[in-house]
Structure formats: structure tokens, C-alpha cells
Amino acid sequence: MNITIFGSGYVGLVTAVCFADVGNDVLCVDVDAGKIARLQAGDVPIYEPGLEDLLRKNSAEGRLRFTTDAAAGVAHGLFQFIAVGTPPNEDGSADLKYVLEVARTIGRHMTEYRLVVSKSTVPVGTADKVRAAIAETLNARKAQFEFDVASNPEFLKEGDAIGDFNKPDRIIVGVDSPRAAKHLQALYAPFNRNHDRVIVMDLRSSELTKYAANAMLATKISFMNELANLAEKIGADIEKVRIGIGADPRIGYHFIYPGAGYGGSCFPKDVKALVKSAADVDFDAAILRAVEQVNNFQKTTLHLKLNKHLGSLKGKTIAIWGLAFKPRTDDMREAPSRVLIESILADGGSVRAYDPVAMHEAGKIFDGQAGFQLVDGPLAAAEGADALVVVTEWRVFQSPDLAKLKQLLKQPLIIDGRNLYDPAWMRAQGFTYDCVGRPAVAAQ
């Protein structure tokens, strides 16, 4: 099948390479000429395991191409996927200007039936706006061509997006015509062979399903972080509580790990957007507001623990392990590390940081910031530091050389935002160890 994808960001690229890899002819359209030139050269501007290899393979075999020519994109694909950004406005609402501009572009150039599919995460009712934008543009041309609009939200985890696309839990298809449903079921057949994963529903339900899924996961994270903070106050161990409640199949173990708060491009933005969508129809989404409030506080807890142990951070050096908002990605959008680093620098402290993948991204974010230094390894970060803070649970941090680490630190203080280590063991090794939702231990 011929597929056009508008937008060559994270969602657009993963969608493109996975569709191309099963034999489709995919054309990616983007207004950023520099990005298109990089992609044509096989250079992927984001980090996602397996993405670059698939892009180069399918480009070399002629199934995947990149262009800035929007008219060529509209002419190419029966399927016109919209996978552009929907950045948050100041009030938390999703900015649809890029989505609607693509819709108008399709309307300007289409000369026959097209199925316009929204992959972008968008508020309920966006499909209606896309349809109206295309219709208005066609009317201005005095042209009459049939088209359908569909909602097909993505459920890709950063760090495992290729696997999620190829072996999906579900494929949500929001449509208002049998024709659109039939086309999309045929398109997804290669990803749907074991059992039927396609769930067909109306457009508005599909749009809400995406927000609801992310909001539910964010809620689980904030709930566990709230319990963790309570556990610290009353002397309980949140890790034992987690195992106890996770054994209940109605709850399960997914997304109940306490930590330093959620970040990334999806959860913060989508919770805000859903709260704003609720307010727009005079509904108070009280639970979602609390989820956001708890998460904002949780991102400050590592800094508070540093203050508890060190007092003023002025003149202190803090080692940070992990900058990305989670492992297997270089994404630092809304990352807890950013809140921590900004707080340390504001207090007059300095930071020595390491991340296996996100160093380049961190360099761009903190470029020119006095007191911020990127180093080439975990132990290099710890050298001469007054404390070590673990922010991201990369595997390389899970079994460190504790004897060497103790020698390098000015004092054996570790603040663990991901509960990687056993407190009793850390105490026995001579560390003061403070983590999330468990009693802190002092060095023996």
C-alpha cells in the first residue's frame, strides 16, 4: 500500500519504518529541510533502539523515502497519516495548528479519495476539526473529492517503540464509515495475524482512549509516589508494599514503582491536556489535577533529600547518574533530572552528570550553564562529589563498584531516586543511603 506520513518526529519515524518493513511504500513529509536531508542520508535525529537500522534498510530497499514536497506526499498515499507535534499551550491545551495545517495541505493538493488518519495525540473533537479544515479548503478550490477521517492513536513506549508497533497490545481505530474501517483493517493485517487486535470504535471514543490510557498510567505512578512519601513518614518499606499489592491480579506490577516522578513527551502533556479538555466542558477532573500536583512535588524530593543531608548546597558538588526521563531513550522533556539540576545550580552548587545516551541532549539544554559538567562515565561523575544522586535506572548503574565509588566520593552519601539498591547492604558497605519510600540508613 502507498502511505504518506506528515511529520518525521518520534511517532512519524517509527510508524514509517514499521509500515515500510512489511512491504508498504512509505513517503515521509516534513517542512524541516535539514531534518529531511539527515534522514535521506540515513542519520536518525532521535535515539530509539533499532530505529536507525530499520530506516537504513528500508531506505536502501526503496520502500521508505523522505521529502519536503507536500504535494508529492498528498499524491503518493491513499493513507495520509498526520503525525506532527501538538505542543501544549500555556493553559495546558494541545496546540492543533500543525495538525490543522496538514489537513489544509491535504485539501489543497488532493485529486482523488484519501483516508486521513490522525496519529498525533489530540483532544476529543479534533477529527471533526480536521474534516472541516479539509472540506473548507476543497470548497475554496471548488473541488469535490471524497475523503474519510480516522483516529488511530499510537501506544509506543520510548525505548521499545519498534516492538510495540510490531507486536501491539491493541490497535485502536476510530472511524465513522465502514470504508475507512476496512482500509485500516487491511493496512494493519500484517501486525494482527496471531489474533485480532483491531478495536474499531467511533472517532471521539478513539481520541479519548489515548488520553485515558496515558492518564491512567500517570495516575498509577503518582499514587505509588504518594504512598512512598507516606511510607517514609510512618516507617514502612514501599518496596514490600509494592510486592504485596502487585500480587493482586486486579492491580498487577506494572507502573507501581515509586521514583522521582514521571516525565517525557506524553504523560505530562496529556494529563494537562485532559484536565483542560474537562475544564472546557465545565467538568472538574479532580483526580487528574491531583496526579499532576503529586508529580510536580515528587520531582522536588531528591533536592529536598540533598538539603536534609548536606544543608546548604552552596559550593557543593553533586554527582548525577541518569539524565533521560527513563532508560533506553535520550528524551529529557519534563525529566526529573532537569528539576534537580536547576535546583542545585540555583542553590550555588555544581553538577557532574553522566547518562549513557542523553549526554548530547543535556549539553544542548544546559549549554553555557556555569557549574554544570558532563563527564564520560559513572565513576568520573562521582569523583570529588559531596553526594551521588541516582535519577534514571539505567542497567549500567545497577551493580556499581561500591568500594571504588566510596573512595571517589568526598563522603559516602547516595540519594537513590529509583530504589536500585538494598538499604541494609548499602549501610554494610559504609554508605549513608536515602531512597524513595524506605527508611534512610546511615553509614556504619
Contact yes or no for 83/131 (Cβ under 8 A) = no
3-class secondary-structure state, position 432: strand
Report the distance separating Cα 96 and Cα 444, nearest Å: 57
- For the chain, give percent helix, strand, coil, nearest 5: 45, 15, 40
Q: Which three cell numbers stand for residue 326?
A: 527513563
- Of the candidates 242, 248, 291, which has an alpha carbon nearest to the alpha carbon of residue 267? 291
Among 18, 28, 266, 435, the active-site one is: 266
Active site residue 266: yes
Torsion of CA 275, 281, 287, 290, to 10 degrees: 40
3-class secondary-structure state, position 66: strand
Please provide the distance, in angstroms rounded to a whole number, between the alpha carbons at the two ends of the chain. 66
Report the distance separating Cα 251 and Cα 269, nearest Å: 25
Q: Which amino acid is at 208?
A: L
3-class secondary-structure state, position 97: helix
Question: Which of the residues are catalytic?
Answer: 266
